[in-house]
Amino acid sequence: PVMEGEFLVQEKFGMVKGVGGGNFLMLARSADAALEAAEAAAEAMSSRAGVILPFPGGVVRSGSKVGSRRIKSMIASTNDAFCPTLRAVTDTQLPDGVNSVLEIVVNGTDAEVIAAAMRAGIDAACRDGVVAITAGNYGGKLGPHHFHLRKIMGGGA
């Protein structure tokens, strides 16, 4: 049961093998600028064949990282290095002037379609108020596929 209406699941559906883990983060001066960039990126990416953005609206508000510094048994925890409100208590990765960060995660049928979608999304996200675009780096702990932004933006996967 849910409070806002019915919860429906398709009776039949298919699946294919794919690739997961493409991501990038938009570091912005304000929450409005981050959201505008993320919505533009999600729109540019979601219509591409062979990819899905698995989060609601395509946007991740609370990013995670592999493992935890304090609780070794945790599989994932908050990506504290990119939380503006945690600057004073963590090893921040945020430059001055960044007050909001949103993430896009993209999965797809193969690495090439993910890279192409990321390129389209990053192009769309480059707008006023965005200070930088970077990606989560999990040291190879998230799987065999790696999406290097400089390579992707240069045209190669």
pLDDT in tens, 95-123: 999 999 999 999 999 999 999 999 999 99
Residue span of the structural domain in which 34 resides: 19-63+84-154
81 CB contacts (<8 Å, ≥6 apart)? 65, 90, 91, 92, 93, 94
* Global model pTM greater than 0.85: yes
pLDDT reported for residue 155: 59
When the pLDDT of each residue in the chain is averaged and rounded to a whole number, the result is: 92
Lowest mean pLDDT among 41-45, 65-69, 89-93: 65-69
Number of separate domains in the chain: 1
Do the domain assignments include residue 32? Answer: yes
What average pLDDT score do residues 63-84 get? 89
55 within 8 A of 64, measured Cβ to Cβ: no
Q: Please tell me the predicted confidence (pLDDT) of residue 156.
A: 58
Residue in 113, 119, 100 with CA at minimum distance from that of residue 36: 100
Does 49 fall in a domain?
yes
CA separation, residue 96 to residues 25, 69, 78, 84, 140 (Å)? 16, 24, 21, 10, 28
Q: Quick check: is 142 in a domain?
A: yes
Other CB atoms within 10 A of residue 144 CB? 8
State mean pLDDT over 60-74.
88
